[in-house]
Structure 1
Amino acid sequence: MHTPSSGKSIISLGAWLDTPAGQYVRAWQQARFDALTADIFGFNAIQVGLPQVDALRANRMPNKWLTDTRMPAEEGGRPRIVVVHDFAELPFATQSLDLVVLPHVLEFAQEPHQVLREVERVLIPEGQVIVCGFNPASLWGLRQVAGRLTGAHFLPQNGEFIGLHRLKDWLKLLSMEVNRGHFGCYAPPCLTDKWLRRYGFMERAGDRWWPYLGAVYMVQAVKRVRGMRLIGPAWAKQGVKAARGVPVTNKIKELTDE
């Protein structure tokens, strides 16, 4: 039996995002996702997991999906929900997606390499992936290590946090070229909103003086295909075509507002 690549651990991260520290992280991530995805164009985009963060909110692609292992209580105006059993087996056709966003998926996956391989499969040439994760080389990472020794965990305990250099190596092996990266959340690992606000000055100082020690990072990479040279949109010679249809196989279960 195949073991799902994600489970209760990433669900516990969703609950953690409702804590003061989680809200602090979520605010930084939402602002950064909005800035990065606003100017990424195409037809089809997908956010894999963690529906508590609307990573595609600012993106203007006509087709947007959110995959999750269960149906959220409220869908609202969010992208269409695709319920999957395993993030390592995305129910989308090969080379059918322009953008894939992975918010904390790899560090809570049983097989993070397989998740990335699956992302590489579904991305079109020059398609983009955005990965967000906790930085083990930060005060929060040290606090998590100490928590494993004492039993007082600051972050969900089942996460295996992936260093940025390690992640870059994985992406390079899949011919994905990193073209942008950001660190954020420089405040110490405080449990209350009061103390997090007191250390708010560290956000600007950390970005200037110790930029690689932020508690969270976000990496944007492009899928490169050797021997391929894009010289312009194919419809330039034939007139504008209609947007591509839904690239989803018959095996998925898609729930919409309709």
Structure 2
Amino acid sequence: MRQWLERWFGVSDIEELAPALEEWLESPLGSSLMRAEQEMLDTALSYLFGYHLMQLSPDRRAKLYGDSKINHCFGLHPLATDGKVYTAMSEFEHLPVADESIDVVLLHHILEFSKDPHRLLREASRVTTPHGYMVVIGFNPYSILGVYRQLARVFIRDPKVKSHAIRISRVTDWLRLLDFTPLKLQRGFFRLPVNNRFFLRHTEWFDKLGSPIMTPIGGFYMIIARKQIAPITPIKQNWSLGRAVPGFSVGKSASRFPESARVTAKK
């Protein structure tokens, strides 16, 4: 029974997920969602600085760091790519990156499609430098798009809809446990999840209206968090002597004979 539930509701392997998700992102609905995410992400990356930026995403073609001011930007993916965006093959849960070496870690729809999202987040935290940033983008389960995806997960055996419904509050709790402080939370894409180009183009005003009014039901969310680790100040050992113990000398050794006795003996 457990194996049947895992096959039906569990997250698909990356070999099945990546092609299906990339095909959906080329559809009118998927491309509209990507444009909204990219616009929000470009604004965020404009004020995030450092030496290295790493991108993790199930989409092998998404180059989300195009407007970043960081010189060295790269991505890692378990499947072979053309090398333009993802420079090496690696499992998301086992990154071949040194500890505390990446200034900005970008997680794009990777937690909900991971078999162990908490472990993946810990691995991403391991490679983030102290006071570095982590940017998490995911589907908002409390949105029209999120409800649509969960209903499709029940009735359709499609890799692109078999994902975890991770609440935003849970992601922020995980980040705090890993010594990250959430700095900013944004939501976007307030249009109905109708896969029709004409309808989506003529309902773009929903996004402008939804930003101040319907913020909690945005189709996706973006969390920017900073790794806060207090520096460790070594405590110098105090080697000063304490109070003298009766019967023991702590200064200049005293003579066994008094001074008057020594002078008399010399004469």
With normalisation by structure 1, the TM-score equals: 0.79
Task: Name the SS of the counterpart of 1:107 in structure 2.
Answer: coil
Comparing 46-55 with 163-172, greater Cα deviation is found at 46-55
Q: CA deviation at 1:181?
A: 1.5
Taking the aligned partners of 1:45 and 1:210, their CA distance within structure 2 comes to: 32
| 2:47 matches 1:43 | no
> Contact between 1:102 and 1:130, CA under 8 Å: does it hold in 2?
yes
Task: Call closer, same or farther: CA 1:5–1:58 in 2, change over 3 Å.
Answer: farther
Q: Who is 1:32 aligned against?
A: 40
For structure 1, list consecutive stretches of 5 or more residues without a partner in the other structure.
Answer: 230-258
Taking the aligned partners of 1:113 and 1:148, their CA distance within structure 2 comes to: 21
Q: 1:199-245: CA deviations, max 9, x gaps?
A: 2221111111110101011111001103469xxxxxxxxxxxxxxxx
Larger Rg: 2
Taking the aligned partners of 2:229 and 2:101, their CA distance within structure 1 comes to: 15
Task: Call closer, same or farther: CA 1:64–1:212 in 2, change over 3 Å.
Answer: same
What amino acid sits opposite 1:61 in the alignment?
A: I
Taking the aligned partners of 2:28 and 2:170, their CA distance within structure 1 comes to: 29
Task: Call closer, same or farther: CA 1:22–1:201 in 2, change over 3 Å.
Answer: same
Q: 2:217 aligns with which of 195, 213, 220?
A: 213
Q: Who is 1:111 aligned against?
A: 116
Q: Who is 1:59 aligned against?
A: 68
The residue correspondences of 1:54-133 to structure 2 (distance < 5 A) are 54-73=63-82, 75=84, 78=85, 81-84=87-90, 86-133=91-138
Percent of aligned pairs with the same residue?
26
Task: Name the SS of the counterpart of 2:191 in structure 1.
Answer: coil
Taking the aligned partners of 1:115 and 1:108, their CA distance within structure 2 comes to: 11
Task: Call closer, same or farther: CA 1:150–1:169 in 2, change over 3 Å.
Answer: same
Q: Who is 1:253 aligned against?
A: none
What amino acid sits opposite 1:219 in the alignment?
A: I
Q: Which has the higher helix share?
A: 2
Comparing 192-201 with 117-126, greater Cα deviation is found at 192-201
Taking the aligned partners of 1:190 and 1:228, their CA distance within structure 2 comes to: 53
Task: Call closer, same or farther: CA 1:98–1:191 in 2, change over 3 Å.
Answer: same
Which is bigger in relative contact order (C-alpha 8 A, separation at least 6)? Answer: 1
With normalisation by structure 2, the TM-score equals: 0.77
Instruction: Count the aligned residue pairs.
Output: 221
What amino acid sits opposite 1:213 in the alignment?
A: I
Task: Call closer, same or farther: CA 1:197–1:40 in 2, change over 3 Å.
Answer: same
Q: Who is 2:24 aligned against?
A: 16
> Contact between 1:10 and 1:108, CA under 8 Å: does it hold in 2?
no
Question: Where has structure 1 moved over 4 Å in runs of 4 or more?
Answer: none
For structure 2, list consecutive stretches of 5 or more residues without a partner in the other structure.
Answer: 1-10, 234-267
User: Aligned Cα RMSD in Å?
Assistant: 2.2
What amino acid sits opposite 1:57 in the alignment?
A: G
Task: Call closer, same or farther: CA 1:71–1:151 in 2, change over 3 Å.
Answer: closer
> Contact between 1:10 and 1:105, CA under 8 Å: does it hold in 2?
no
Task: Name the SS of the counterpart of 2:150 in structure 1.
Answer: helix
